Amino acid sequence: MAVMTYAGAAVAALGDAMRADPTVVALGEDIGRGGIFGQYRGLQQEFGTERVMDTPISEATIVGAAVGMALTGLKPVVEMRVVDFALCAMDEIVNQAAKNRFMFGGQGRVPAVIRMPIGIWSASAAQHSQSLESWFAHVPGLVVLAPATAQDNYSLLKAAIACGDPVTYFEHKELWGLEGEVESAMPAEIGKAAIRRLGRDLTIVTWSRAVHWSLEAAATLAAEGVEAEVIDLRSLWPWDRAAVLASAARTGHVLIAHEAVQVAGFGAEIAATLAEESEARVSRLGGLRLPVGYAPKLEAEVRVTPARIAERARALLKRGK
């Protein structure tokens, strides 16, 4: 058991995977110097430029090359810097990586991991602060993961590399310095949620950085006599329907909280499933449908916070009486 940062855990996971399997490679902008968040620090020095490759500033080229690498036997880990930039590679992700296995009868597979950091990046404005994970959950053929802890950024990244299918991997732009204990022998199962806090009165379903806000909100609610259960989905596709439905059956109230824009966010899929398959009362809390402002006051207006999660939880419980 070692204490690592969220970024350091990703370095450790990728390094371990590359030592164990010579077909694992990494490519992207600035990764030779460690990546803009330090998530590749030291890897090019250890593995060389043929396995940790700096690329031109062209996301379409980067993902297109990775698809070709994957089809010829490599396991590329692709760096998009931030999810906002991945929009320049949507054809390669959606029409090539996601579709190949199905269009050619399984003759080719694309075991690529595409790392696309999400979330508000303080004072970075509208083109560097988006959470677009629901876009990729909508696409058949893609696995969608969103780790919230250092342990999961180690274990889920290793699981993603071993998956065999294209994985869209959403780390949070403001979790890189988060520290936590990491056990290298602890596996993560794709599609399996983690219950971060047990509770009897309310279920909060969440992922990525909103897990930490939800835990803060749950602590506030506990001081008021309300025990909230917090479920970290970790995997958005496939997602752990069984865990969510079981918790909903116990508590009778479910709040889905995420940083992404609430309109057509993945929380709507969870809410619809609960409406169809449970008797629980359901509410959602997501970001406003506004571009993220550069000015701190404008940025604060669109943020999901622990206080707002707690407030929505109180309103849900009041409505349920």
Dihedral through CA 163, CA 45, CA 184, CA 171, nearest 10? -60
The closest of 316, 149, 315, 314 to 222, measured between CA atoms, is 314
- CA geometry: angle 130, 133, 138, nearest 5 deg: 135
Q: Which residues are catalytic?
A: 128
Cα-Cα-Cα-Cα dihedral sign, residues 293, 306, 212, 251: negative
Identify whether the C-beta of residue 304 lies closer than 8 Å to the C-beta of residue 207: no
Partner residues linked to 235 by β-bridges: 145
The closest of 34, 32, 33, 16 to 24, measured between CA atoms, is 16
Identify whether the C-beta of residue 306 lies closer than 8 Å to the C-beta of residue 206: no
Partner residues linked to 254 by β-bridges: 203, 282
Query: Helices (H), strands (E): how many in the chain?
Result: 13, 14
Q: Give CA–CA dist 202/221, Å, rounded.
A: 10
Q: Give CA–CA dist 130/288, Å, rounded.
A: 12
Residue 247: Cβ-neighbour burial (10 angstroms; 0-12, 13-18, 19+): buried
Q: Give CA–CA dist 30/40, Å, rounded.
A: 9
